[in-house]
Every structure is written in structure tokens, then in C-alpha cells.
Amino acid sequence: MAEFKISRLRYTWKGNWTTTTAYNRDDVVRFGGSSWVCVRQHTASAFQADQDYLANPSDTDPTPAWIKMTDGQSWRGVWLGSTLYSPGDIALYGGVLYLVINSHTSGSTFEENSAKWAVYASADNWTYNWAAGTRYGIGDVAKYNGIVYRCITEHTADSNDNGLEVDQAKWEIVHSGIQYVGTGLPTE
């Protein structure tokens, strides 16, 4: 029977993957929600570029730098513009949790890259009182003139303070005639 020696395992945890870092074979990193093991020595450029690397000009098959070790998700919090998102990242926008399906750097609005996300879970996101000039996402819930509305189309509210009526088609009524106070407790 073959002898098993634990000392031969050479995995080295390196934390989050970063560009311009020199990686060696058997280094392990977190990228997106997954962990990856390095299979060739290299200095990181862009993660996808490291995966598409051609060792020789005549090669037709890439020589990837990483092999996925474990799959998972990574909570990134509230969606932000100008942020690098990787497959497996989860972010909240409006009342919806989204899962990244394609790596990208987000634009200034969620709509710009919405095709690179999949709905992970939906809920309502209570934003309290409707406000002019505010960016609303699907699932945002706001009160306006004693009526509680849910956003059904991503948009920026009219900044001229003409009221929610200007964008009425982008909202649906949740409750009419109920006044919410404090932490969301209704009063009649």
C-alpha cells in the first residue's frame, strides 16, 4: 500500500485574488464566491486573461492559471457603481438580491449591467418617504401622500419635485390610506 504523507500537500492560502500578485503552483485564492487553486506560476493580470493565456503563439487551447476548488457565493452588500463584481458575488439593489453571472465592473446605474446579473431572491426594501431625485430599484417601497408604493421599474425620481405622479407607471400601490410611523408599524 502507498504511503500517504501529509507534508506533501502544499496548498497555501493567499486570501483574496488580486492583480499584479505573483502566484505559485498550489496557491489558493478566493475570487468571487469560489476558491481557486493555481496550476502554473504567473503574475496576475485580469482573472479572465489569466484563464485565457496561450503559452505559445501556435496554441489553440488556453493554459489556465486557475482551477476551481470550491464553488460558493460572496455577499457584497448594497450594489455600488464602478465596482468589480465576479461570478458568485451577491449584491442588493432595491428589494432584490442579485447573483453575478458574468464578471464586470459596474457602470453608474444598475441597468447598464443588468444582463450580467440573475435574480437570487426578491423582497421589499423599505425606503420610508418618497424623495425627489432619488434612484429607486425594483422592490423599493416608499410612502407618498399616505399611500405606500412599490417600485416596479428602475428609475430616478423626478428631481423637480413634481411628485410621484410624474412616474406613476413605475410604481404599484401596496397599501392605500395607511400611515406608517417609526420602524414600520401601521396605524389606521
pLDDT one-digit tens code per residue, 26-66 = 999 998 888 999 999 999 998 888 988 888 888 888 889 99
| Cβ atoms of 138 and 110 closer than 8 Å | no
Q: For the chain, which domains are there? A: 11-70 (2.10.10.90), 74-122 (2.10.10.20), 125-187 (2.10.10.20)
Does the pLDDT value for residue 184 go beyond 60? no
Surface-to-core class of residue 171, CB atoms within 10 Å of its CB (0-12 exposed, 13-18 middle, 19+ buried): buried
Cα–Cα distance for residue pair 68/47, rounded to 1 Å: 12
Cα–Cα distance for residue pair 155/110, rounded to 1 Å: 10
| Cβ atoms of 88 and 32 closer than 8 Å | yes
Annotate 72-92 with b (16+ C-beta within 10 A) or e (fewer). ebbebeebeeeeebbbbbbbb
- Looking at residue 103, its pLDDT comes to 87
The answer to whether the pTM exceeds 0.75 is: no
- Looking at residue 55, its pLDDT comes to 83
- Looking at residue 73, its pLDDT comes to 92
Contacts of 2 (CB under 8 A, 6+ apart): none
pLDDT one-digit tens code per residue, 116-171 = 999 999 889 999 899 999 999 999 999 998 899 999 999 999 988 788 999 999 99
Give just the sign of the alpha carbon dihedral 157, 131, 83, 13. Answer: negative
